[in-house]
């Protein structure tokens, strides 16, 4: 991320907050966070602010285009420009397949798919007019999931949205390649986040993995920075599976 500005959507907690924190050590010049929780978004930018970087944050419900674009523009003004967008915002509902309601389907799609789409559109409109660094004007990284490729009980609606994120990534990559914008996704397996630890199913995740453990969020962050950072000058439309051997593709 050296000398690049980063915006993390859904950066108030979990992997998103870690990315905002780690960006300081990665040499980012500016860090922004959008989250439905404005206080969490502000807190996630504190390490970058303490390090003297330009920072910006915004509270937004990304289910609507208006709110998404307003939040993007608010952070963009604070940072000057946005070189890399990372979409982490998602909900992870669990319910038996035959019991999922219309409202639950709509909620999953609205945040995990439509919200990701809105933020990508805002980023592309900005990046198309940015000055290129080499051949690249901007980078977008979406967080998908191994659940897009492997079925699990009680999360059909979540898995479907993450498969949609993979497809959306490829569609955007194809359409904006000529603008010098690289679009990729990273598909994690189970991560040892605070929520996972609190939920009590971390042992189950570890037992299902050939490496015998869940991934540390930092291990996923490294791949996000690779796809969204200056070392990536050619890869686009790819979904990077980081599963510790949980699935092979």
Which residues are catalytic, by number?
158
Helix (H, G, I), strand (E, B) or coil at 25: helix
Q: How far apart are the two ends of the chain, measured CA to CA in Å? A: 27
Closest residue by Cα to residue 184 from 174, 192, 195: 174
Long-range CB contacts (within 8 A, 24+) of 169-176? 169/142, 169/144, 169/237, 169/239, 170/237, 170/239, 172/120, 172/124, 172/140, 173/236, 173/237, 174/237, 176/124, 176/127, 176/128
- Helical ranges in the chain per DSSP H: 14-25, 38-44, 46-50, 65-79, 102-109, 116-127, 156-176, 194-199, 202-208, 217-228
Burial class for 215, CB neighbours closer than 10 Å (0-12, 13-18, 19+): buried
Alpha carbon distance 144, 127 (integer Å): 22
């Amino acid at each position: 991320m050296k000398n690049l500005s980063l915006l993390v959507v859904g950066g108030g907690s979990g992997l998103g907050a870690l990315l905002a924190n780690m960006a300081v050590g990665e040499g980012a010049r500016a860090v922004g966070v959008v989250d439905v929780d404005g206080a969490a978004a502000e807190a996630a930018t504190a390490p970058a602010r303490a390090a003297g970087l330009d920072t910006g944050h915004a509270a937004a419900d990304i289910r609507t285009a208006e709110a998404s674009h307003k939040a993007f523009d608010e952070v963009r003004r604070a940072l000057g420009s946005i070189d890399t967008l990372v979409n982490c915002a998602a909900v992870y509902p669990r319910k038996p397949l035959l019991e999922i309601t219309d409202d639950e389907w709509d909620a999953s799609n609205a945040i995990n798919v439509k919200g990701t789409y809105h933020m990508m559109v805002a980023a592309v409109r900005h990046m198309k007019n940015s000055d290129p660094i080499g051949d690249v004007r901007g980078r977008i990284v979406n967080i998908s999931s191994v659940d897009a490729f492997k079925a699990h009980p009680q999360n059909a609606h979540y898995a479907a949205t993450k498969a949609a994120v993979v497809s959306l990534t490829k569609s955007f990559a194809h359409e904006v390649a000529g603008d010098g914008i690289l679009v990729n996704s990273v598909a994690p397996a189970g991560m040892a986040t605070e929520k996972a630890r609190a939920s009590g199913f971390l042992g189950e995740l570890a037992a299902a993995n050939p490496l015998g453990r869940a991934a540390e969020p930092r291990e996923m962050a490294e791949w996000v920075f690779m796809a969204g950072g200056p070392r990536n000058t050619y890869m686009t439309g790819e979904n990077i599976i980081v599963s510790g051997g949980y699935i092979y593709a």
